[in-house]
Structure 1
């Protein structure tokens, strides 16, 4: 991991990868398969430089040039491999969220923005547990069980029960099949406690469909 201790040390001009439904959170790991020529070029340039890429979702616009969401997450390439057919298999590890600032026209095949990290300086701090009450944790556990039953999904409960709250919440936000707008809500939550509340609420909403025959706990 790059030794970034404060937001002032983070690269300000960053390449961005707009990809709806792909969520990167600070401390999380996002595997990506890169095959489009412009993004192969982006990875080449990133590997030759700071090894960082900003992950963003979009908000409408044209397919060729969608409108970038106002908040993204900077990730560092921590795993890299090239396949025999020229694809790149990389893993981004989340560093810090950013506000999407000015987009620069540098005549490159991929897009670059000037990232603003000031609001998210706490993302670079040590992992910390959110102050969540026992009642909130119980509500979350019930909502998660109902959601998984509703979706006919399963998780390793032993691992989940032993995981720190931040690791568990972030992995669920990134890995469960939420809609892009819902994933953006996780990203824009002010802190872990806020993300925990958004996650719990969305789990409850999804599992409350009265027309689904799997809506009750088994």
Structure 2
């Protein structure tokens, strides 16, 4: 179990193994970032379900702003402040290396602290997953044959040797998908299911 600060951002789905740059300007989130850095608290970035006004939170505490209900699965990790401007705005980088499932909320004011568990994959067939990964990379190289740079990237030793778990997230960078679709992929419990989802997408566009 881990305690993380939670930054809900509508439409922002960050898959594992990603760096997430953020421009932080709202005072409560600037405080959240400062507290995370000072106290070594991991930060999670979450897509949201819908605007929410909680009956547990006094209206004045929210400064008349809607807060958002986070999705229950998200990624997070260490946050670094890259720059602080004179007016207090910040640019930060979040190392979203780990996938988490929300258990409960410990604090809501001035920002959310949540208890989470790391969300690990269920058991799967490694041989089947590796076969799917290799087939997807080959299909992408064929589909984007005219995109020399992409083809060369996928044929590098780094990509050819990438394990199926990492590839099942990293391959999504080559697709432009709606946030809710990415959230669905993020919540899938095995790399085989994530890779099959991409295979189905290729079936529809090829």
TM exceeding 0.5: yes
Distance 1:85 1:203 in 2: 46
SS of structure 1 residue aligned to 2:103: strand
Distance 1:141 1:23 in 2: 25
Q: Which position in structure 1 is the counterpart of 2:61?
A: none
Displacement of 1:97: 1.2
Matched, 1:46 2:36: yes
Distance 2:87 2:113 in 1: 27
Change (3 A) 1:177 1:93: same
Distance 2:80 2:88 in 1: 19
Change (3 A) 1:177 1:109: farther
Report the TM-score when normalising by structure 2. Answer: 0.71
Distance 1:83 1:176 in 2: 34
Displacement of 1:21: 2.7
Displacement of 1:171: 4.2
What is the aligned residue count? 183
**Contact 1:23–1:174 (Cα < 8 Å) also in 2:** no
Q: Which position in structure 2 is the counterpart of 1:157?
A: 151
Distance 1:109 1:34 in 2: 15
Q: Which position in structure 1 is the counterpart of 2:120?
A: 120
Deviation per residue, 1:49-92 (Å, 9 max, x gap): 12411111111243713222121112211463223443211111
Q: Which position in structure 2 is the counterpart of 1:57?
A: 47
1:22 paired residue among 12, 18, 37: 12
Moved more, 74-83 or 44-53: 74-83
Q: Which position in structure 2 is the counterpart of 1:99?
A: 101
Once the two structures are superposed, the pairs formed by residues 1-218 of structure 1 within 5 Å of their partners are 12-62=2-52, 64-78=66-80, 80-104=82-106, 106=107, 108-117=109-118, 119-120=119-120, 130-133=129-132, 134-142=134-142, 145=144, 156-162=150-156, 163-164=158-159, 165=162, 170-174=169-173, 176-205=175-204, 207=205
Gaps of 5+ in 2: 54-65, 123-128
Gaps of 5+ in 1: 1-7, 123-129, 209-218
Q: CA RMSD in A?
A: 3.2
**Contact 2:17–2:170 (Cα < 8 Å) also in 1:** no
